[in-house]
Amino acid sequence: MSTASPTPPSTPSPSSSATPAHTNHLATEHSPYLLQHAHNPVEWYPWGDAAFIRAKAEDKPILLSIGYSTCHWCHVMERESFEDEKVGAYLRDHFISIKVDREERPDVDKIYMNFVQITTGGGGWPLNVFLTPDLKPFYGGTYWPPQSRQGRPGFLAVLERVVELWTTRRHDLDASANELAAKLQSMAEHEAANAFPAGERELRGAGESFLHEFDSIHGGFGGAPKFPRPSQPLYLLRYARRFDSADARKAVLKTCDGMAAGGMNDQLGGGFARYSVDERWLVPHFEKMLYDNAQLVQLYLDAYQTAKLPRHAAVVRATLGYVLRDMTHPEGGFFSAEDADSEGQEGKFYCWTRKELSALLTPEEFNVTVKHFGITEAGNFVDHSHPHPLPHLNVLSLVGPALSAHDQTILDSATRKMIEVRSHRIRPHRDDKVLASWNGMMLGAFARAWVVLQDEEYRTAAERNLAFIKSHLWDATTKTLAHRWREGHVEAVQIVDSYANVLAGVVDLYEATVDPRHLEFAISLANALIERFYDPKDGGFWQSAPGTPHLLVRHKEDYDGAEPSGNSVAALALLKLAAICDRKDWREAAEKTIRLFAQRLHQTPQAVPHLLLALDFALQEPKRVVLAGDWTCGSTAALLHAAHSGFQPHKVVLGNRGPVDAFSRTLPENEEFTQAYCCTGTACQPPTREAAKVEAFLAAK
């Protein structure tokens, strides 16, 4: 139910003007977020030596402001404060001001987000933190309004108070900054918990905890605002299988159906918004992030394998259709995000008024559409962040019963008209940078969609994306993976999330194709991941490569939030790759990482749902389907589909060629056709060409 939309300009700024009065040090940057602020009256610097040297030379405090280009409240604060001439002048006189794109520098963001969370009890973006010239934080918060309201101090008042304290109580500020820096360092140090291995106790406790939080009315976990957090339902499907929990299975399927029917799912164009502001999945925060959609595709594929309901496959197809149409670079890379705002107002691109639809549709189309999508005269969405919100806006959601064939035909006619009208609206800003980490997630999603749904377009997209990564982000000589590419420019900072997620995506692609070239690349990535980020002493993976400059502390991220942590992704990917290649060293690194965070798994499993996937995989020897023969022939594709048709998280699928384990390489081939060996360890059933036998082997507990 979607058609092509006009391609938006590559870097539209929500606050751009034809003749900017100001240009600051961000004008030569490549991040869309930094470029949005390049003409603020604030004298912004990017994160780097120029700003730090000046701060020390002039002995001024630093204002560090962190956000991202599709962040709605970042736009609001820019419009209200950073575009204000008085604020800009005050910052120029009293501060060194630095802008950071959190998506390009998650390592910097993590340090100062931790600070704000421990000092205020909350966090979010925009993140605004005041630092000493040696980068130690002493005060911070998130969004501040231009004037004091609703218990929040006005931003200029905050600046004036900081300057007063800097001038009159400098010794106290320095002492506080030193103390807080020491606390941040202690938070970054994990005690190796090798004597406390995690096991089934943690798996059972986590599942019970998640089910306790389950919203049995609307689906999802917790209340408003409600985030999808795909790792949580992904784990519950594994919990359901391991512990025969019908309740867990039902909870996941209800959650999937609730999200798909709600306004968080773009009912016309496909793709999911960031989260729902209410508990019903109705009114979204409209920004669309690549990482959310990649993870949700994986969830709906698991749901489809579990229940075989066509509506779950339809969600996968609609979501991937959106990505291919609106979020794909001509060479195959995937763009990062789309904004919540269009023409400065949240939701304007996506919403409809009853009056607008009445003028567009025939009476019969109008009646079916209004009933099906829940359209009212009053509307169901108001952009409270805008001083002049548009009236009577409706977010589309599915509210009625299943349509008859006649009504479905009428609705299809209506939605074609609506899509055509929407295609001529001004689209939200698109962040067109290509992040290795998020591309790895979507690479894996397309790979699995190909082998589960058998749509050749998805395999092509996955292969093209991997070619893009190899061409633009991977240096084959130095075996390094850049974090970001945009318009030919590479941000070469080394982040574990990039290596871990691309590794996971390539492993998914190998299991979907058994092409040994993909396995060879996965091995190169795994070796680079271990060499650059792994801590052999205590276990776990550092977020940044050693020697990364200007970091107050170095972290091992252990929180699976909107994105799973690099540690969780690396642990699961290495466990799978170890099983395919029989590499005990990779398995030991993954298991040592799990042990490092065992206390977290035991005490607060809600914080590490993706690590639970790794633990679940580690506790059970995976079944093995070895395809002996030419991976390019049609008989291989049929057996691959059989191996991936049902939900079996404790398996690996591999060929008998290339750098697989030694035993698999000994399995004999038939010259005429591919045959499958269904194995547990080195015990294999007789080879078969029958898809049903492969499916039965994997379905058995």
What pLDDT was estimated at residue 190?
64
Question: Do 241 and 121 share a structural domain?
Answer: no
Per-residue model confidence (pLDDT) at position 632: 87
pLDDT band for 441, please (50, 70, 90 cuts).
very high
Decide if 212 is inside a domain. Answer: yes
Question: What total number of domains does the chain contain?
Answer: 4
pLDDT of residue 18: 55
DSSP state of 640: H
| Residue 196 clears pLDDT 60, i.e. is over it | no
Distance of CA 83 to the CA centre of its chain: 30
Q: Using one digit for the tens of pLDDT, what is the confidence trace for 180-190?
A: 999 998 887 76
Residues near 582 by beta carbon (within 8 Å), at least 6 away in sequence: 661, 662, 663
Token pair of 123 as six digits: 């966090």
Domain presence at residue 644: yes
Please tell me the predicted confidence (pLDDT) of residue 63: 98
Q: Is residue 140 part of a domain?
A: yes
Q: Give a yes or no: residue 220 inside a domain.
A: yes
pLDDT, tens only, 272-287: 999 999 999 999 999 9
662-695 pLDDT tens trace: 999 999 999 889 999 999 988 999 999 999 999 9
Report the share of the chain in percent with pLDDT over 70: 96
Residues 361 and 485 in one domain: no
- Final residue before a domain boundary, out of 366, 397, 424: 424
**Interhelix angle for 170-187 vs 106-120, to 10°?**
110
pLDDT of 191 reads 58
% pLDDT > 90, the chain: 89
pLDDT for residue 192: 58
CATH number of residue 209's parent domain: 1.50.10.10
Q: Are residues 384 and 515 in the same domain?
A: no
| Residue 233: closest CA among 243, 219, 223 | 219
Length of the chain in residues, anyone?
A: 701
Give the three-class secondary structure for 454: coil
Same domain assignment for residues 454 and 467 = yes
- Domain CATH number, residue 37: 3.40.30.10
Last residue of a domain, one of 599, 620, 641: 620
User: Does residue 5 form part of some domain?
Assistant: no
- Which residue range(s) make up the domain with 373? 350-424
Q: Which residues contact 588 (CB under 8 A, 6 or more apart)?
A: none
Same domain for 251 and 277, yes or no, is yes
**Buried residues in 547-568 as b, exposed as e (16+ CB within 10 A):** ebeebbbbbbbbbbebbbbbbb
Whether residue 372 is found in the same domain as residue 495: no
DSSP code of residue 121: S
Q: Looking at the domain assignment, is residue 18 inside a domain? A: no
Together in a domain, 503 and 645: no
Phi-psi region of 17 (alpha: psi -120 to 50; beta: other; left: phi over 0): beta
Q: Letter for the amino acid at 604?
A: T
| Whether residue 219 is found in the same domain as residue 326 | yes
Two tokens at 224?
């408003």
pTM of the model: 0.94
| Residue 10 included in any domain | no
Please check whether residues 250 and 373 belong to one and the same domain: no
Claim to verify: residue 559 and residue 449 sit in the same structural domain: yes
Q: In this model, does residue 9 exceed pLDDT 60?
A: no
Which pLDDT does position 113 carry in this prediction?
A: 95
**Cα distance between residue 440 and residue 518, in whole Å:** 13
Confidence of residue 198 (pLDDT cuts 50, 70, 90): confident
- Beta bridge pairs of residue 653: 625
Q: What is the pLDDT of residues 77-113, one digit of tens each?
A: 999 999 999 999 999 999 999 999 999 999 999 999 9
Domain boundary among the residues 620, 655, 672 is at: 620
Same domain for 489 and 598, yes or no, is yes
Sheet with 484-486: list strands edge to edge.
434-435, 484-486, 489-491
Q: Which of 336, 602, 391, 636 is nearest to 514 (CA)?
A: 636
DSSP conformation letters of 202-269 = HHHHHHHHHHHHB-TTT-SBSSSSB---THHHHHHHHHHHHHT-HHHHHHHHHHHHHHHHSTTB-TTT
Contacts of 298 (CB under 8 A, 6+ apart): 230, 234, 444, 445, 448
Instruction: Indicate if 647 and 540 belong to the same structural domain.
Output: no
Q: Which residue has the higher pLDDT, 631 or 259?
A: 259
Query: What mean pLDDT value characterizes the chain?
Result: 94
Whether residue 22 is contained in a domain is answered as: no
Q: What is the DSSP string of 555-588?
A: ------SSS--HHHHHHHHHHHHHHHHT-HHHHH
Question: Coil, strand or helix: which one is 26?
Answer: coil
Q: What is residue 149's predicted lDDT score, i.e. its pLDDT?
A: 85
